Structure formats: structure tokens, C-alpha cells
Copies of this chain bind each other. A is one copy, B any other.
Amino acid sequence: MTALGLPMTVPAQDLPERVRIHEVGARDGLQNEKSTVPTEVKAEFIHRLADAGLTTIEATSFVHPKWVPQLADAEDLFPKLGGLREVALPVLVPNRRGLDRALVLGARRVAVFASATESFAKANLNRTLDESLAVFDPVVRHAKDAGVHVRGYVSMCFGDPWEGPVPLHQVVRVCTALRDMGCDELSLGDTIGVATPGHVLELLALLNEEGVPTNMLGVHFHDTYGQALANTYAALEHGVTTIDASAGGLGGCPFAKSATGNLATEDLVWMLQGLGIETGVDLGRLTATSVWMAEQLGRPSPSRTVRALSHKDQ
């Protein structure tokens, strides 16, 4: 359809020169898949993502297999990634036991998954907000003692399916608590995709005011209402340089077959490449990887860039 396999590069003013994409497809993207994805396929997926130039690839979760059966193979998968020495491979750990499992295998980066709302803490973790923070506290401290980098996910920062609007001060409270525990990095999640750019900018400004610097903040947008990339652009203008995305747009809300959940890494890379912001990612290789993964899963990628580029190649 187009002679352009890449966008024209025309920088905009005052944007970061380089962005680190935190690729979540292998963990967040796959965790809700109904049919079990073979461990070998997951390992190949992660190796292909690394070959495409991604430098931070969230690999799996050391959660109890009962809760996330799809990721029950964490102990088998993680050792298969040993060759990826140049790539950061964070893993999710829900509690102390998960952390211990990850540390035994040599994980150097872990992530905890907190909520900004009581309702989601209850639904996802079966705890109150404060109870869930109390669980994370020794996990983060122990990880830091072990010299491991810790990311704190904060979900439902911009809206909650049960509560509706989420007060910003509540998000800030959770973020500062995670920082005080020792988290190196926070990922601000718009889990249901309702945020718009002003909302994003206000939260970022408020966090800065409360002593959380932009360079420890990542953004994790969902495309449920098509807003993810506009929100990303606003976050870039604020100076954010860590952006979560999922290859091929894997994952997200399970309400539709072509679920429009996580921001697709390809759509993000198209914009960043157009803006002249370095990511190290080869868009053609990444797209080929997502097309391959879509074949493994038996359904097309919801990423618009993947669809446009893969059609072009046909």
C-alpha cells in the first residue's frame, strides 16, 4: 500500500534523544492467553525480540501457577535466556516466595505489581491497598539487599473499572510508598486505557512535585480507547524516556478477539522513528517477529503498524 516501510524522520523540539522501550509482550502480553504457549515458543519469541533490538524484555512471572497457568513454566523458560547477556530480562514477582524463585535462577531485575485503587488490589491481589503495600515492602527490600533492580508497577492510575475516576493523590501515595521501599523505577499503568494527555501530564507534574523524578518514571498505556500513542507523545514532551509496549499489541483486555489492550511496540516505534528518537529497534525485524507470534497464537496482531507493514510485504 505504501512505498514507505518506515516513516520520514522529522524531529520535534524538546523531546528526548533516546527512549528505552520496556517490552512486555512475553509476560503481560501472553499471561492471559487461554491455550498454553510452549516454553520453546516463548524462548524463541524473546530471542527474536532481542534480535530486533529490544534491550529490556520482561520475560515471565514467578507467580503461583494456579493464578497464571500460562506462566507456570518460568523455571524452565528463564534458563533458556542465558545467552542474552546484553538484554535486561526483568521478571514479575508477586511476593517473597516468587522473589526467591527468581533470585535462585539469577534474575537481576524484578518487578512488583501494585494497584492505585482498593478495588483492583482486592480483585487482583485479594488484599486492601495498604495490605498489598505491606506485602511488597519486604520483597522490595530483600531484592535491593540482593543488589537487584526493582520496578514497581502501579496499575489503574487513570481510571478503575469498578471505581471510575481515580484521585491523583491516591496514585501519588502509592508511588511514593513504592519509592520509599526502594523501587528503582515506577511504571504508571493506564490499565483500562481511559487516560488522555492532560491527565497524564498532571500526574507526572504532581509526582515531580512530590519528589519522584521523571527519570524514575515509565508509562504503560493501553489502547482500549485509542489514546495510547497520544498519551505517549505527551509523556515524551514531559521528558519521560521509559515506555512500556507489547510487541504486536499482545495482551490487554480479554473482552474482544482483537483486544485493543497494550500499546503495540510497532506503533510506538513508528512514531519514535518518525520523531528521530533512538530506540535501537529494527522495525522490520520486530514486525516479522509479531507476525510470527501471531501465527503461533492463531490470530492476527491488533497492531495497526503490523497489519499495514505485513500487508505491504505480501
Q: When the two chains form their complex, are residues A196 and B227 in contact, meaning their CB atoms are under 8 A apart?
A: no
A294 interface hit (Cβ, 8 Å): no
Please name the residue on chain B nearest to A256 by beta carbon. Answer: B307
- CB contacts (< 8 Å) of A275 on chain B: these are 196-198
Interface residue ranges of A195-241 to B (CB < 8 Å): 195-199, 201-202, 223-227, 229-230, 232-234
Shortest A270–chain B CB gap in Å is 5
Chain A interface size range: 35 or more
Bound-state Cα–Cα, A304 to B224, Å: 6
A3-B160, A226-B264 as given contacts; A10 in contact with B305, CB under 8 Å: no
Shortest A162–chain B CB gap in Å is 6
Copies of this chain, tallied across the complex: 2
A77 interface hit (Cβ, 8 Å): no
Q: When the two chains form their complex, are residues A270 and B164 in contact, meaning their CB atoms are under 8 A apart?
A: no
- CB contacts (< 8 Å) of A164 on chain B: these are 2-4
Please name the residue on chain B nearest to A276 by beta carbon. Answer: B198
Q: When the two chains form their complex, are residues A8 and B165 in contact, meaning their CB atoms are under 8 A apart?
A: yes
Q: When the two chains form their complex, are residues A226 and B224 in contact, meaning their CB atoms are under 8 A apart?
A: no
A271 interface hit (Cβ, 8 Å): yes
Shortest A21–chain B CB gap in Å is 15
- CB contacts (< 8 Å) of A12 on chain B: these are 197-198, 201, 234
Please name the residue on chain B nearest to A258 by beta carbon. Answer: B258
Shortest A279–chain B CB gap in Å is 13
A155 interface hit (Cβ, 8 Å): no
- CB contacts (< 8 Å) of A161 on chain B: these are 1-3
Q: When the two chains form their complex, are residues A256 and B226 in contact, meaning their CB atoms are under 8 A apart?
A: no
Q: When the two chains form their complex, are residues A1 and B253 in contact, meaning their CB atoms are under 8 A apart?
A: yes
Partner of A305, one of B4, B225, B234, B274: B225
A79 interface hit (Cβ, 8 Å): no
A153 interface hit (Cβ, 8 Å): no
Q: When the two chains form their complex, are residues A271 and B227 in contact, meaning their CB atoms are under 8 A apart?
A: yes
Q: Which 6 pairs of residues, A with B, have the shortest CB-CB distance?
A: A196-B274, A226-B267, A12-B198, A226-B304, A3-B164, A10-B199
Chosen A-B contacts, 26 in total, with CB atoms closer than 8 Å, are A1-B253, A2-B161, A2-B164, A2-B192, A3-B163, A3-B164, A4-B164, A7-B225, A8-B159, A8-B165, A8-B199, A195-B274, A196-B270, A197-B233, A197-B271, A198-B275, A225-B305, A226-B229, A226-B267, A227-B267, A227-B270, A227-B274, A230-B230, A230-B233, A230-B271, A233-B234
Q: A197-B275, A229-B230 are in contact. List 10 more A-B contacts (CB 8 A).
A: A2-B192, A3-B163, A4-B164, A10-B202, A196-B271, A226-B270, A230-B233, A230-B271, A233-B233, A260-B304
